[in-house]
Amino acid sequence: MSKIYYDNDVSMEPILSRKVAVIGYGSQGRAQALNLRDSGVEVYVGLRRGGRSWSQASQDGFEPLPMEEAVRRADVVQILIPDLQQPSVYSSVIGPNLRKGAALGFAHAFNIHYGLIRPPGWADVFMVAPKSPGPRLRDEYVAGRGVPSLIAVAQDGSGKAKALALAYAKAIGSTRAGVMETTFKEEVETDLFGEQTVLVGGVTYLILRGFETLVEAGYQPEVAYFEVLNELKLIVDLIQSGGISHMLESVSETARYGGMTRGPRVIDERVRENMREVLKEIQSGEFAKEWAGDVDKSSAEMRRLVDAIKSHQIEKVGEQVRRLMKIG
């Protein structure tokens, strides 16, 4: 296991002595810019003039700049716009205006690992990947706590890129919780795998198939909703607070026995083989090529699939149940 870095292990001087341009002011951009500023870092927010985030950044006390101007002023450029936008913005705005000796930071390894962005060889290229959505990163910082982050270095032009990454992680509050070192390859491949097979794809379709099975068998959709979706949060909270075994010890003996004896029949070896195939597509770059190679096509397919979920019976039933029973 990699070393875990905490506040006392890390000096913030490498980031305090630099000017940071945060490119993008969405969920992560806003949280990181605010945390950096509150930690004493000089922060520029780089945005498209007149974009939706421009007024929000102004309300938060920043003087937003056009992206190219923010990049020209910065010693560290933290790129926090969506993955698919990054290559074109880098080639047209960031790369041509990057100061010699400046560092590039990312919150996800996707574009560097798959070669969609190719920084100059002299640049430090690092990653600080908070393991939470932006609003929680901000809330935890304000509360005097933090959320864990992963750090990695892809290029070390100065020989000090790791110290810079750790200092950045400290400035956004992550060393309060713990920071673990990884690689760009490990971060992106495990992140994509987790999203696709468990956290987003896996859990979504497990819920849908369970709901459909109960409804097809004649059970009330509202009851099916409670049993396969509403109670999921209770289980996940138990797992998060103490691990899987803690959850198993916290549920009834009937639930424990039934889950342990029937669960492997549902999530069986065929599922693991399917997961291995998904992992191979990630490792080979096939998924990245599919997702980023034809943006219009992949985005249209994503919208089609999301729209299908929105029109699914479970969404309509869930909306009614949450409203009538004051859930959520």
Residues tagged in the binding site annotation: 25-28, 48, 53, 134, 191, 195, 227, 231, 252
CA distances from 162 to 3, 156, 265 (A): 13, 8, 45
**At a CB cut-off of 8 Å and minimum separation 6, what does 91 contact?**
none
CB atoms within 10 A of CB 100: 7
Exposure b/e, 112-136, CB count within 10 A at least 16 = b = bbbebbebeeebbbbbbbbebebee
Q: For residues 182 and 133, what is the distance between their CA atoms, to the nearest angstrom?
A: 20
Tell me, what DSSP letter sits at residue 231?
A: T
Tell me, what DSSP letter sits at residue 91?
A: I
- Give the tokens for residue 305: 């699939």
CB 78 within 8 A of CB 20: yes
Query: Binding site membership for substrate: which residues?
Result: 252
Query: In sequence order, what are the beta bridge partners of 106?
Result: 79, 127
Catalytic hit among 108, 113, 246, 312: 108
Q: Is residue 113 flagged as an active site residue?
A: no
Give the 3-state secondary structure of residue 298. helix
- Give the tokens for residue 19: 């000017």
Sort 60 into a burial class: Cβ within 10 Å, 0-12 / 13-18 / 19+: middle
Query: In sequence order, what are the beta bridge partners of 79?
Result: 23, 106
Indicate the pairing of strand 124-130 with strand 65-66. unpaired
Q: Which residues are catalytic?
A: 108
